[in-house]
Structure 1
Amino acid sequence: MKISARNSFKGIVKKVKVGAVSAEVSIEISAGINIISTITKSSAENLELEESKEAYVVIKASDVIVVID
């Protein structure tokens, strides 16, 4: 796989919650660090996402906001 996005993280699928139209996917990229993404139900099915499967998280955004409290 070659990709131009610089922010990609390899991880393990921890949970896939499929709804009528979309799926919420939780991927652990490091111990205790999960990234959650909402994708279409058909994309989750095409990728055959299931718990314990390896997957990549790719973040491509024109805006990233940093906040402190």
Structure 2
Amino acid sequence: MKISARNVLKGRVLDIRKGATTAHVKLDVGGTQMTASVTNEAVDDLGLVVGQDAYAVVKASDVMLAVD
């Protein structure tokens, strides 16, 4: 598969928490944890399971910063 996004991070699925319609999938990416919000249907279609390798594909138009 080819993809136009340039921010593709390989990780391992740590946790999958399904809600009513949306799932939160936690990935370990090089020691940093990321959480993706995807539909329950996407989790099922991708066959995601804890321990599996997966890619976080980040495509954002804005990056926000904050300070204390």
Same fold (TM over 0.5): yes
2:29 aligned residue: 29
Correspondence for 2:10: 10
| In 1: Cα distance, 2:58 partner to 2:17 partner | 20
Higher mean Cα deviation, 39-48 or 58-67? 58-67
- RMSD of aligned Cα (Å): 1.0
Q: Which SS does the other structure have where 1:42 is aligned?
A: helix
The one-letter amino acid of 1:51's match is: V
Unaligned 5+ runs, structure 2: none
Moved over 6 A (4+): none
Aligned length: 68
TM-score, with normalisation over the residues of structure 2?
0.91
Unaligned runs of at least 5 residues, structure 1: none
TM-score calculated relative to the size of structure 1? 0.90
